[in-house]
Amino acid sequence: MLFTLLYRLIASLLRLIFWPFLLLRWRRIVRPGTYLAFEIDGGVTDIQPAPKLLDRFRKRPVSLTALAELTQTLAGDRRIQGIVVTLRSFHQGMASALSLHNALRKVRESGREVIVYLPFGGGTKEIFVASAATKIVAAPQTTLSPLGFVVTARYLKGALEKTHLEPEVYARGVFKSAGEQLTRDRMSEREREQQDAILDQLFEVLLEKLAEGRAWNRERALRAVNNAPYLHTEAIEQGLADAAAYEDELKMVIGDRGPAMVAGAGGYLRAKKSLSFPALINEPVLGVLKIHGAIAHSSPLTSELGLAVDDALIGAIRLARSDRHVRALILHINSPGGGALASDRIHHELAAFAAEKPLIAYMANVAASGGYYVAAAAHRIIAQPTTITGSIGVVAARFAIDPLLERLGITTEVLKRGERADLIAPTRTLRDDERAVIERELEGMYRAFLNVVAEGRKQPIESIEKIAEGRVWIGSDAKRVGLVDELGGFDRAVETARARISGPGAAKLKPAVLNAPRGRIPPLNPPGSRNARAHTLLGLAQLASTLGLDVDPAALLLSGERILAWCPRAKSLAASNESD
């Protein structure tokens, strides 16, 4: 703490000394009529964590929070003519695409030009994002392919029968289709119903934004999609693009009288921020906890696989709950679910947090099954119209391999003590009484899931049952049935968190990504209670984490969970695989 204070004090003194030079740099970094440029390749992020030392030398994805700051800065700087976005590719889901589209649209609505350059052409998502621009420039010989959306499912029943592998799938929820590709040879009517509803909504959003951005009506947008793809010359003729240029010709195409002046948006923002002085003490923040990837138990493997590990998330929640500087918590969820028990453990800690501080859930591309389970603890749930969510149900599956082994001439001898000692062994088919045990276990977890959602949504469990059943919902429909409170982006989640905080200065609180502690954080007391010993233990755990010491590491394997609150189809739906 003392070292941090001393560092900030020295930094402030140096900034004060050099402030006239910093101001001069700020004034000279751009001239009137300048465009600010940045590049997107792969995707964006809603908010970046504070950069580490090596991060300053690495290319980081564009942050929509930084883009919002840029928009605010442009409002007071008439020297800036507009922005130039080089969109090389976009591989994220439609919720992220919509967030980026809306962010660019805000720049356009502020009176600045928005130029999107497509050096490699683009598919549905690239064109969707680019439609927010005032001008779309494509590179020569590229193809623009706003083809729409397609979902492809392959069914393995016939192949498994030929191999004599016998799948056994147990599910709660008539729409819970996670295992039907193993047991069926074609799509079920329930699955077709929910897939069609999602594709309908995605397609309508695509047509709406294309029509809005290009000043078309819906019919013209529909023709543009159905007649795609287009070579760059055809795209210009159809009004899908405005000009063509190689990269070295772009400035000439943008400029009205000669080549346009272009400066880096990152350098511009850094120069602007260098004029402000850092706070000497830690300021209150809106904590942001990222729950990304499959939800799993902690193990030596899960930390390396990009999973949402329960122990790490629980530790971060406990630290946020005890830290007076964290005034509220925003969950940034991008997960198709995972282990039912891991989801329940995280939800329990979030419910304790919500009893003391505001808790807001923002659903990015997907927050389904276990992803929705953890969101249910929040005071408010916000999602984009194109977010994939719901799938309130549980599933379990196993394979019986004995029939295959017998055909191969392999016999299995089993010695056991305990009538059901080999219940989960992938060898034989289960007896009726054993199936009943698994069904009972699934029913208990499903009822728990329903209760969690009913309590969080403050609705009778009978109402939740009608919209549960494992059904996957798109964000706009999820709001209609009451699973989501409001449609919007991460910026709306930040505004909502500020609004729920009492006291002066709430409107100025900034979001900050919370890092998971390195060691285990001991449990806090239930909400409303205080215990000096518990807080002492917490302080020691925080110190150990700061020093990089490992405290009580967990060693539970992901495979230890037989029951999953998991929606594998949600990930592909969120990605919305295109037919290009």
Higher pLDDT, 31 or 11: 31
pLDDT at 578 over 60: no
User: Residues with Cβ < 8 Å from 41, sequence gap 6 or more?
Assistant: 88, 89
Whether residues 76 and 130 share a domain: the answer is yes
Beta bridge partners of 289: 331
Residue 557 lies inside a defined structural domain of this protein = yes
Residues 64 and 70: their CA atoms lie apart, in Å, by 10
Strands 243-244 and 166-172: unpaired
pLDDT at 376 over 80: yes
Whether residues 508 and 539 share a domain: the answer is no
Element (H, E) at 182: helix 180-183
Whether residues 84 and 114 share a domain: the answer is yes
Kindly report which listed range (220-229, 270-279, 532-541) carries the lowest average pLDDT score. 532-541
Q: What is the pLDDT of residues 347-357, one digit of tens each?
A: 999 999 999 99
Residues 372 and 294: their CA atoms lie apart, in Å, by 12
Residue 165 lies inside a defined structural domain of this protein = no
- For the chain, what is the mean pLDDT? 86
Q: What is the pLDDT of residue 553?
A: 30
pLDDT at 545 over 60: no
Whether residues 464 and 496 share a domain: the answer is yes
pLDDT at 537 over 60: no
Q: What is the pLDDT of residues 123-159, one digit of tens each?
A: 999 999 999 999 999 999 999 999 999 999 899 999 9
pLDDT at 285 over 80: yes
Higher pLDDT, 110 or 282: 110
pLDDT at 440 over 60: yes
CATH number for the domain including 317?
Answer: 3.90.226.10
Residue 90 lies inside a defined structural domain of this protein = yes
User: Residues with Cβ < 8 Å from 393, sequence gap 6 or more?
Assistant: 171, 172, 173, 175, 176, 369, 446, 449, 468, 469, 470, 565
Q: Do 192 and 110 contact (CB within 8 A), yes or no?
A: no
Q: What is the pLDDT of residue 173?
A: 84
Kindly report which listed range (121-130, 402-411, 428-437, 564-573) carries the lowest average pLDDT score. 564-573
Whether residues 495 and 562 share a domain: the answer is no
Residues 485 and 483: their CA atoms lie apart, in Å, by 7
Residues 399 and 564: their CA atoms lie apart, in Å, by 16
Beta bridge partners of 87: 40
∠ CA 27-116-131, rounded to 5°: 130
Residue 180 lies inside a defined structural domain of this protein = no
Q: How many of the other CB atoms lie within 10 Å of CB of 109? A: 11
pLDDT band at 558 (very low <50, low <70, confident <90, very high): very low
Residues 239 and 386: their CA atoms lie apart, in Å, by 26
Whether residues 349 and 467 share a domain: the answer is yes
Higher pLDDT, 148 or 540: 148
Kindly report which listed range (3-12, 136-145, 419-428, 541-550) carries the lowest average pLDDT score. 541-550
Residues 441 and 563: their CA atoms lie apart, in Å, by 8
Q: What is the average pLDDT across 290-316?
A: 84
Q: Do 269 and 66 contact (CB within 8 A), yes or no?
A: yes
pLDDT at 532 over 70: no
Whether residues 92 and 126 share a domain: the answer is yes
pLDDT band at 403 (very low <50, low <70, confident <90, very high): confident
Question: At 395, which amino acid appears?
Answer: V
Q: Where are the beta strands (DSSP E) in 267-322?
A: 285-292, 295-296, 308-309
| Residue whose token pair is 């594709």 | 199
Overall domain count for the chain:
3
Q: What is the pLDDT of residue 575?
A: 61
Whether residues 40 and 77 share a domain: the answer is yes
Whether residues 317 and 246 share a domain: the answer is no
Residues 7 and 558: their CA atoms lie apart, in Å, by 42
User: Residues with Cβ < 8 Å from 506, sequence gap 6 or more?
Assistant: 327, 498, 499
Beta bridge partners of 82: 35, 113
pLDDT band at 424 (very low <50, low <70, confident <90, very high): confident
Q: What is the pLDDT of residue 391?
A: 92
On the 0-12 / 13-18 / 19+ scale of CB atoms within 10 A, 88 is middle
Q: What is the pLDDT of residues 483-520, one digit of tens each?
A: 999 999 999 999 999 999 987 888 889 999 998 887 77
On the 0-12 / 13-18 / 19+ scale of CB atoms within 10 A, 362 is buried
Asked if the bond preceding 426 is cis, omega within 30° of 0, the reply is no
Whether residues 369 and 434 share a domain: the answer is yes
Whether residues 244 and 381 share a domain: the answer is no
Residue 219 lies inside a defined structural domain of this protein = no
Q: What is the average pLDDT across 298-314?
A: 79
**Per-residue exposure over 522-546, b if at least 16 CB sit within 10 Å of its own CB, e if not:** bebeeeeeeeeeeeeebeebbebbe
Whether residues 316 and 454 share a domain: the answer is yes
Kindly report which listed range (144-148, 203-207, 307-311, 541-545) carries the lowest average pLDDT score. 541-545
Q: What is the average pLDDT across 385-396?
A: 92
Question: At 40, which amino acid appears?
Answer: I
pLDDT band at 258 (very low <50, low <70, confident <90, very high): confident
pLDDT band at 574 (very low <50, low <70, confident <90, very high): low
Residue 318 lies inside a defined structural domain of this protein = yes
Q: How many of the other CB atoms lie within 10 Å of CB of 140? A: 11
Higher pLDDT, 454 or 412: 454
Q: What is the average pLDDT across 387-404?
A: 89
Q: What is the pLDDT of residue 573?
A: 60
Q: What is the pLDDT of residue 231?
A: 96
Q: What is the pLDDT of residue 5?
A: 64
pLDDT at 98 over 80: yes
pLDDT at 335 over 50: yes
Q: Which two tokens stand for residue 69?
A: 């700051």
Q: Could you tell me the pTM of the whole model?
A: 0.87
Residue 86 lies inside a defined structural domain of this protein = yes
Residue 42 lies inside a defined structural domain of this protein = yes
Q: Do 472 and 567 contact (CB within 8 A), yes or no?
A: yes
Long-range contacts formed by 551-556: CB under 8 A, 24+ apart: 551/519, 551/520, 552/519, 552/520, 553/298, 553/519, 553/520, 554/297, 554/298, 554/299, 554/311, 554/520, 555/298, 555/299, 555/300, 556/297, 556/298, 556/299
pLDDT band at 318 (very low <50, low <70, confident <90, very high): very high
- Domain region containing 348: 285-393+430-513
